[in-house]
Structure formats: structure tokens, C-alpha cells
Amino acid sequence: MIPEFEYAIYVWSSYGIFAVVIAWQIVQPVLYRRRLMAELREELALQSGDYNDPNS
């Protein structure tokens, strides 16, 4: 067996975990910004009186 292939599972799984962490580091702030902007729009609508409650 070629010695380089003995640790291939560890190397590739490390690359996979690294990719998942980097992707999360990119996606998480985008999701946070979206949620924050929605909350700010709702607060502005409540203050201006233009808020229509979709639950009523």
C-alpha cells in the first residue's frame, strides 16, 4: 500500500470540516443581517403606523 493513502480519510475529512466551517462563517452573517434588517423594517413600520399585522 502506498503510504500517502493511509491517512487520506483524515486529510479529506479535515478538508471537508474546514469547508463547512468556512461556509458557515460566510452564511451566518448574511442570515443575521437579513433578520436584523427585517426587525428594523418592522420597527420602523410600527413607529410610522404603516404596520399591517398578517396574523389578524
Note the pLDDT tens digit of each residue in 2-35: 566 788 889 899 999 999 999 999 999 999 999 9
Domain limits for position 36: 8-46
Domain assignment present for 27 = yes
Q: Is residue 33 domain-resident?
A: yes
Q: What is the pLDDT of residue 6?
A: 80
In a domain, 15, yes or no: yes
The answer to whether residue 3 is domain-embedded is no
The three cell numbers of residue 50 are 404603516
Q: How many folded domains does the chain comprise?
A: 1
The 3 state secondary structure assigned to 44-55 is HHHHHCCCCCCC
Q: What is the model's pTM?
A: 0.59
Residue 7, phi then psi, degrees to nearest 5: -105, 15
In a domain, 53, yes or no: no
Q: Is residue 17 in some structural domain?
A: yes
CA distance 11 to 31: 30
